[in-house]
């Protein structure tokens, strides 16, 4: 049985890994020169840098189980889970999920705190109706307006800017204007029990471990996939190679918008639904430092009216020892949705300069400590949930499910963007393929 997988991110690797365990050995085509995609790590000298994903919330049970299964538990590190928001240069620090810290938190006034508690209790009362993976009619009713409209109409601009802004920047790489009330409420209800883990050896270690024993063809971008109806096979055309590869089964493990480009026989109706799923680009700038940069929180956020480019600055020493050479420092900036869009095609030097200028405006003379800066660009950073998206995803999943069982789909866009989702969809894709074989 010949199985081809497109993409060696966690979705493609997890599909391949499970298939291989069951005696089916797929070929995985990967456009880039490394595995893991948005869940990968780079090494510059002795610095280990997460190119994209960097946190594993305790709610990501499948991912945490996988870490155990791969024998990587010793690398798992619990972060302090602290988050700071800077307003006019003043830092407001909180441990996420700590009621004590919440009541002392000076970023919010008493009315804001009461409003937030009210919202939290409302979200809790909705329970499973806020399960975005299996939306009910009530969930769909909650996604009829954007969170920004909802908060302005019913609460205050302060909650929008100081709470919803950082939440969407951190969890969705986006902004409240592009996301619905349902998505906001589902994030709010989880904020009280929130342990955040990471991997001391970098997120990429998961990809490397899964890749062992798999046939991954690097630097091999797939250009098109066509069905050969007569033979019941699929023809895969790759860049720079005249060979047309033939497979009995195909797994698409690339961000959904790419499926539309690659799969020439995708029904028109499905193309139209998939095109409505909205992704934002995302950029990450890793900054190696001559000296440790010790203070502040694991995650640092800003108000968008003050800081345009930086969404979250992650201080990497909180990810455990072993990532940063002794006596040195490392910080990773994730850019705002707007800055990622505007700067995506600019040069590395230009992006670095803009980022360092803003870092200096928050932490004076930060840039005098810089050893190197490296920019990572993700054209499909994260899925956004404007009103109507959950409903579109339901019909899209149903339609994809009805396609011939010799094709399967993994990766994000099917649900929200996270390693957990890509992992689970990868495992499910392997089950679909196996069910067709048995």
| Contact footprint for ligand FAD (CB under 6 A) | 6-12, 29-32, 37-39, 52-55, 173, 221-222, 253-255, 258, 262, 282, 284, 334, 378, 381-382, 411-412, 417-420, 422
Closer CB to ligand FAD, 382 or 387, in the complex:
382
* Rounded Cα distance, 14 and 70, in Å: 12
Q: Where are the alpha helices (DSSP H) in 130-245?
A: 137-142, 147-154, 157-159, 165-167, 181-188, 204-211
- Beta strands (DSSP E) in 254-344 are 278-289, 299-302, 310-315, 329-335
**Nearest approach, Cβ of 76 to ligand FAD (angstroms)?**
14
Closer CB to ligand FAD, 11 or 307, in the complex:
11
**Nearest approach, Cβ of 145 to ligand FAD (angstroms)?**
26
Closer CB to ligand FAD, 180 or 198, in the complex:
198
Helix-helix angle 181-188:110-126, to 10 degrees: 100
Which single residue is written with the structure tokens 């004076």? 364
Closer CB to ligand FAD, 271 or 290, in the complex:
271
Backbone angles phi, psi at 302, to 5 degrees: -140, 165
**Nearest approach, Cβ of 8 to ligand FAD (angstroms)?**
5
Query: In residues, how long is the chain?
Result: 438
**Nearest approach, Cβ of 39 to ligand FAD (angstroms)?**
4
* Rounded Cα distance, 431 and 18, in Å: 8
**Nearest approach, Cβ of 10 to ligand FAD (angstroms)?**
4
CB contact at 8 A, 387 and 145: yes
Token pair of 358 as six digits: 């803003």
In what helix (H) or strand (E) does residue 106 lie, and over which residues does it extend? none
Closer CB to ligand FAD, 180 or 422, in the complex:
422
**Nearest approach, Cβ of 61 to ligand FAD (angstroms)?**
12
Closer CB to ligand FAD, 38 or 323, in the complex:
38
- The CB density around residue 192, as the number of other CB atoms within 10 Å, is 13
Helix, strand or coil for residue 110?
A: helix
Backbone angles phi, psi at 123, to 5 degrees: -60, -45
Helix, strand or coil for residue 251?
A: strand
- Beta strands (DSSP E) in 22-106 are 27-29, 41-44, 47-50, 56-57, 76-78, 82-87, 90-95
Closer CB to ligand FAD, 37 or 159, in the complex:
37
Q: Where are the alpha helices (DSSP H) in 92-169?
A: 99-104, 110-126, 137-142, 147-154, 157-159, 165-167
Closer CB to ligand FAD, 135 or 381, in the complex:
381
Closer CB to ligand FAD, 406 or 422, in the complex:
422
Report the sign of the C-alpha dihedral through residues 182, 308, 378, 346, in that order.
positive
Closer CB to ligand FAD, 66 or 419, in the complex:
419
**Nearest approach, Cβ of 207 to ligand FAD (angstroms)?**
9
Burial level of 157, CB count in 10 A (0-12/13-18/19+)?
exposed
């Amino acid at each position: 049985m010949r199985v081809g997988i497109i993409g060696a991110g966690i979705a493609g690797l997890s599909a391949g890994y499970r298939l291989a365990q069951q005696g089916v050995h797929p070929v995985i085509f990967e456009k880039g020169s490394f595995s893991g995609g948005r869940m990968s790590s780079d090494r510059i000298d002795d610095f280990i840098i997460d190119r994209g994903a960097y946190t594993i919330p305790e709610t990501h049970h499948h991912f945490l189980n996988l870490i155990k299964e791969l024998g990587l538990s010793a690398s798992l590190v619990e972060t302090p889970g602290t988050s700071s928001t800077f307003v006019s240069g003043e830092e407001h620090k909180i441990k996420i999920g700590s009621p004590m810290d919440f009541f002392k938190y000076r970023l919010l006034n008493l009315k804001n705190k009461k409003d937030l508690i009210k919202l939290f209790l409302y979200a809790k009362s909705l329970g499973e109706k806020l399960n975005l993976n299996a939306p009910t009619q009530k969930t769909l009713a909650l996604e009829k307006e954007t969170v920004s409209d909802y908060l302005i109409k019913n609460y205050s601009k302060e909650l929008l800017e100081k709470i919803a802004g950082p939440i969407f920047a951190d969890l969705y790489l986006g902004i409240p204007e592009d996301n619905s009330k349902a998505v906001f409420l589902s994030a709010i209800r989880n904020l009280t029990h929130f342990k955040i883990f990471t991997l001391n050896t970098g997120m990429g270690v998961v990809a490397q471990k899964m890749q062992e024993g798999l046939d991954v063809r690097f630097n091999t971008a797939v250009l098109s996939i066509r069905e050969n109806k007569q033979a019941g096979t699929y023809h895969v055309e790759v860049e720079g190679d005249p060979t047309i590869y033939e497979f009995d089964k195909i797994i698409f493990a690339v961000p959904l918008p790419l499926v539309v480009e690659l799969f020439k026989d995708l029904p028109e109706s499905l193309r139209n639904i998939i095109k409505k799923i909205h992704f934002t680009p995302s950029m990450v700038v890793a900054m190696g430092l001559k000296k440790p940069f010790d203070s502040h929180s694991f995650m640092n956020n800003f108000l968008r009216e003050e800081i345009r480019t930086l969404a979250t600055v992650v201080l990497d020493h909180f990810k455990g020892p072993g990532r940063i050479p002794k006596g040195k420092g490392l910080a990773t900036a994730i850019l705002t949705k707007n800055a990622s869009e505007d700067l995506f095609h600019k040069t590395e030097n230009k992006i670095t300069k803009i980022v360092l200028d803003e870092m200096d405006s928050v932490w004076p003379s930060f840039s005098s400590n810089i050893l190197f800066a490296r920019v990572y660009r993700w054209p499909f950073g994260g899925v956004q949930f404007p009103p109507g998206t959950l409903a579109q995803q339901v019909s899209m999943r149903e339609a994809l499910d009805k396609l011939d069982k010799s094709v399967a789909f993994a990766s994000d866009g099917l649900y929200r963007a996270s390693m957990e989702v890509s992992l689970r969809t990868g495992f499910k894709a392997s089950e679909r393929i196996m069910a067709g074989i048995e």
